[in-house]
Structure 1
Amino acid sequence: MDRRLTFWILVGMVLGVVVGQALNATLDPAVIKESVAPWLKLLSDIFLNLIKMLVAPLVLSTIVVGIANMGDSAALGRIGVRSIAWFITASLISIGLGLVMVNLFQPGVGAPIPDAAAATAALGEVKELKATEFILSIFPKNAVEAMATNNILQILVFSIFAGVALSAIGERGAALVRGADALAEMMLQVTGYVMRYAPIAVFAAIANVVAASGLGILGTYVELLLEFYFSLVILWAILLTIGAMFLHGRIWTLIRYIRQPIMIAFSTASSEAALPKLFEQLDRFGVPRRISGFMLPLGYSFNLDGSMMYMSFATIFIAQAYGIDLSIGTQIMILLTLMISSKGIAAVPRASLVVITGTLAMFGLPVEGVAIILAIDQFLDMGRTATNVVGNAVATSVITKWEGMLEVEEPEYVPHPEAPAHTAADGKRGLELDPENFA
């Protein structure tokens, strides 16, 4: 099933480009906007809505079960410290590499400057998020509201409290833990059903973008696109090389397992769309749910490697477009500002643009410059979103190996009902496996 799904997602992407370009070449833009685009958007939005339906209960159940069965609170703290250390290191690599590559290639020199009025209109929805507002937004005032809005960071906070509390009350909370475990298994089973619709959604999403903008728009920004994607390839190579230092030969297995989440993230430009499938594939790779259930939601808020590279790349690109020469010291300050302000951006609409806008304003750079990249932001977003998935998959797998809990992977052909994904009880299996697994 997995190989067939991968094939049909690829088919959907190719057909989306072909059909989208045909529509763009034959139909009037007004007709596309009024008659074609809404139906294509409907097909892709159905998939995204179904995925969003899964995220909150899946994140809640996996974190609660994982922490409740952690047993040793010191282990949770140790995993948390190691995770944050990895996230900070990956952030510095991502932002630093973006800064180096944009200075090396200088894609902003000669870029088209948008009309100020049009830029202001295009940026009307983007608002800077103050530091105090962000910190307050981490803590939910209503757990139900956090789940209703799919605020992963707030769900994470509530789930940690719930998991620690269930662990503290012991046997009295066992029924709730078993219920949460069953809920997680049910949501992954539903994920399998939803994924069968993915090729249609991928086709519609790609066709909609190409029909509206046409592949011709890429010509105007071809230098920026090529240089940004080349930089992402280098970042992938760095992340996977570091992962191979811990995982050794199993890094190739990890790449094979996460190809579907990567394709879903790339084609839909939505990290959220890939999250349920990423849970499932890491289960198969051998990551216990108590680790992935804690790290993936945390990583989705604090380990967005692709987005962070994009923000450093885009900020300096805009300065270059306006002919503003920034000293190395100023660029390092911009890097540090992005490093801090990018954490937890997942819950903010148009998150990367929010951070870029705030950084531009802070350093006296033209905020309206964000409109330069709006025309191709969807194409840039596809690459950075896929990179976020790679970064979080590698981080979760490495921390699991570091903890000595990486298990033998499940064969891909084993049906889910007969060979269920790792349950909470499976967390104990990591210490009972072949010692070579921890080498």
Structure 2
Amino acid sequence: MTMRHVQHSAEPAMPPKSRAWWQHLYAQVLIAIIAGVLLGHFAPQTGEAMKPLGDAFIKLVKMIIAPVIFLTIVTGIAGMRDLAKIGRVAGKAFAYFIFFSTLALIIGMIIGNVVQPGAGLNIDPATLDSSAVADYAAKAHESSISGFLLGIIPDTMVSALTSGSILQVLFVSVLFGISLALVGERGDRILSVLEDISTIVFKFVSLIMRAAPIGAFGAIAFTIGAYGIGTLANLAELVATFYLTALVFVLGVLGIVARLCGFSIFRLISYLKAELLLVLGTSSSESALPSLIEKMERAGCPKTVVGLVVPTGYSFNLDGTNIYMTLAALFIAQATGIELTLGEQIALLSVAMISSKGAAGVTGAGFITLAATLSIVPSVPVAGMALILGIDRFMSECRSLTNFIGNAVATIVVSRWEGNFDLAQFQAATSGELPRIDQDPDLTVPEK
């Protein structure tokens, strides 16, 4: 990615002045999260009333996700015009997704067996209120592999951009990009127009992100106000085990992968700190998807790889969700006094591998996927999900953070496999040497 500078006078453009700490987005989001936690804890009813702020921000982001994905993929594929390379990138991405998603499930299962967070609770499944999780079980029952595959195909080409389904947008974008590449020079004018629109849309994203602190404040205030920090105390061991397992996966497993690819996981996390705080505040990795696409391109990953890996990873590379599924399933079994044999645990893992794809893109996918898994493996009662319903909102934050980091790492790894990862640009972007994304576009405009 190169940068062009637009001069407004005869004098050379001066480098941007460094901003005060409180002017950075990550600092504003962090302050908003702290304020939201305090409001939700000390004034629960007022905190619950802040929910529309969080919902409104997430709707704003979802509004722009489809255009961002469409423009990124189409301009990337059409600009490259190497269809064999596109298939190769997709193949490598899915190989990565399958391996690390499975590894996340296995790690969750190993930690669950070693720590045994549910052991000793001795809860009778008959005493649990199954009606509390009935809606999740019903949604899980509706999710099937065939339904999932058919759901990738939109009713119309245009409806893919309005349905809210990332996979439908991905499907149409890839086909449109390939078609545009195949028409050759006749499509150059359309490609040029789409690239110009892309610049406008990413400016639109930067405007929306200015509202991130308000969205994070409203979402976290509602969570603390509605569920209360005290709900964590009853199942503190499970929550702590899940967070520590996710931390081990990110810093250990993904950290090793990052080191092998020549970059530091800590530098990547620092680079994405504003997005991670936003994900933490909203409990949704989708809230930072447009910004992730822009930042990964900026950090030296080619547009085609970013456009294919990031949106697809949001449905197929759910490391945090996979850790949660096996860990939560084992917790329920241990809490209700059910001894699972090795064969039953392997069956549980196998079902989770499939069901995690079938529930992709569904609101509350982590909890719904768990319900789908338990409904197929009768050894563990679905009613046992009532035990963790109260703390699921707090665990969803960790799921989203892990999923988000996992997809950022996947994008760099696939770019490195393709031999197109610009490590020097990554170092420059993560060290702050490149001009800021949210800088005045009249002074610095990214040329995609």
TM-score (structure 2 length as normaliser)? 0.87
Question: 2:128–2:384: 8 Å Cα contact kept in structure 1?
Answer: no
How far apart, CA to CA, are the structure 2 residues paired with 1:141 and 1:70? 29
Question: 1:114–1:372: 8 Å Cα contact kept in structure 2?
Answer: no
The superposition leaves residues 357-399 of structure 1 with CA deviations (integer Å, 9 ceiling, x where unpaired) of 1221211121111221110111000001010110000000111
Matched, 1:397 2:401: no
How far apart, CA to CA, are the structure 1 residues paired with 2:117 and 2:364? 23
- Give 1:206's match in structure 2, choosing from 220, 224, 236: 220
Helix, strand or coil for the counterpart of 1:204? helix
Distance 1:72 1:394, change over 3 A: same
Output the amino acid matched with 1:39: A
- Give 2:435's match in structure 1, choosing from 413, 420, 423: 413
How far apart, CA to CA, are the structure 2 residues paired with 1:350 and 1:255? 25
List alignment gaps of at least 5 residues for structure 1: 25-31, 424-439
Output the amino acid matched with 2:182: A
Q: Match of 2:98?
A: 88
Q: Match of 1:42?
A: 52
Q: Match of 1:180?
A: 194
Matched, 1:374 2:392: no
Q: CA deviation at 1:43?
A: 1.1
Helix, strand or coil for the counterpart of 2:337? coil
Distance 1:322 1:42, change over 3 A: same
How far apart, CA to CA, are the structure 1 residues paired with 2:104 and 2:134? 26
How far apart, CA to CA, are the structure 2 residues paired with 1:215 and 1:252? 29
Q: Match of 1:9?
A: 29
Q: Match of 1:197?
A: 211
Structure with greater helix share of residues? 1
1:139-288 matches, cutoff 5 A:
139-237=153-251, 238-246=253-261, 248-249=262-263, 251-288=265-302
Question: 1:301–1:344: 8 Å Cα contact kept in structure 2?
Answer: no
How far apart, CA to CA, are the structure 1 residues paired with 2:318 and 2:155? 25
Distance 1:125 1:254, change over 3 A: closer
Q: Match of 2:80?
A: 70
Helix, strand or coil for the counterpart of 1:76? helix
Question: 2:319–2:403: 8 Å Cα contact kept in structure 1?
Answer: yes
Question: 1:62–1:180: 8 Å Cα contact kept in structure 2?
Answer: no
How far apart, CA to CA, are the structure 1 residues paired with 2:132 and 2:267? 47
Q: Match of 1:387?
A: 402
Q: CA deviation at 1:117?
A: 7.3
How far apart, CA to CA, are the structure 2 residues paired with 1:370 and 1:150? 28
Helix, strand or coil for the counterpart of 2:158? helix
- Give 2:131's match in structure 1, choosing from 120, 131, 140: 120
Helix, strand or coil for the counterpart of 2:58? helix
Distance 1:421 1:391, change over 3 A: farther
Larger CA deviation: 181-190 vs 152-161: 181-190
Output the amino acid matched with 2:35: L
Aligned length: 412
Question: 1:264–1:274: 8 Å Cα contact kept in structure 2?
Answer: yes
Question: 1:240–1:394: 8 Å Cα contact kept in structure 2?
Answer: no
Output the amino acid matched with 1:176: I
Q: CA deviation at 1:10?
A: 1.0
Q: Match of 1:29?
A: none
Larger CA deviation: 82-91 vs 167-176: 167-176
Question: 2:152–2:167: 8 Å Cα contact kept in structure 1?
Answer: yes
How far apart, CA to CA, are the structure 2 residues paired with 1:399 and 1:336? 25
1:123-142 matches, cutoff 5 A:
123-126=134-137, 127=139, 128=141, 129-142=143-156
1:348-359 matches, cutoff 5 A:
348-359=362-373
Q: CA deviation at 1:159?
A: 0.8
Question: 1:57–1:183: 8 Å Cα contact kept in structure 2?
Answer: no
Q: CA deviation at 1:199?
A: 1.2
Helix, strand or coil for the counterpart of 1:420? strand
How far apart, CA to CA, are the structure 1 residues paired with 2:96 and 2:333? 30
List alignment gaps of at least 5 residues for structure 2: 1-18
Output the amino acid matched with 2:84: A
Larger CA deviation: 125-134 vs 151-160: 125-134
The superposition leaves residues 272-318 of structure 1 with CA deviations (integer Å, 9 ceiling, x where unpaired) of 10101111221221112222111111111110111111111111211
How far apart, CA to CA, are the structure 2 residues paired with 1:421 and 1:283? 10
Larger CA deviation: 95-104 vs 355-364: 355-364
Larger CA deviation: 339-348 vs 129-138: 339-348
Output the amino acid matched with 1:67: I
Q: Match of 2:109?
A: 99
How far apart, CA to CA, are the structure 2 residues paired with 1:379 and 1:38? 15
Helix, strand or coil for the counterpart of 2:50? helix
How far apart, CA to CA, are the structure 1 residues paired with 2:374 and 2:174? 35
Question: 2:33–2:216: 8 Å Cα contact kept in structure 1?
Answer: yes
Q: CA deviation at 1:38?
A: 5.8
Larger CA deviation: 380-389 vs 148-157: 148-157
Question: 2:62–2:287: 8 Å Cα contact kept in structure 1?
Answer: yes
Question: 2:116–2:331: 8 Å Cα contact kept in structure 1?
Answer: yes
**Superposition CA RMSD, Å:** 2.0
How far apart, CA to CA, are the structure 2 residues paired with 1:101 and 1:264? 28
Helix, strand or coil for the counterpart of 1:178? helix
The superposition leaves residues 19-62 of structure 1 with CA deviations (integer Å, 9 ceiling, x where unpaired) of 111113xxxxxxx2xxx356301111121111011101101111
Q: CA deviation at 1:141?
A: 2.2
How far apart, CA to CA, are the structure 2 residues paired with 1:387 and 1:305? 6
- Give 2:61's match in structure 1, choosing from 20, 34, 51: 51
Q: Match of 1:20?
A: 40
Question: 2:70–2:173: 8 Å Cα contact kept in structure 1?
Answer: yes
- Give 2:323's match in structure 1, choosing from 270, 284, 309: 309
How far apart, CA to CA, are the structure 1 residues paired with 2:435 and 2:120? 52
Q: Match of 1:434?
A: none
The superposition leaves residues 61-101 of structure 1 with CA deviations (integer Å, 9 ceiling, x where unpaired) of 11111111222111111111111111111112111100001
How far apart, CA to CA, are the structure 1 residues paired with 2:244 and 2:92? 29
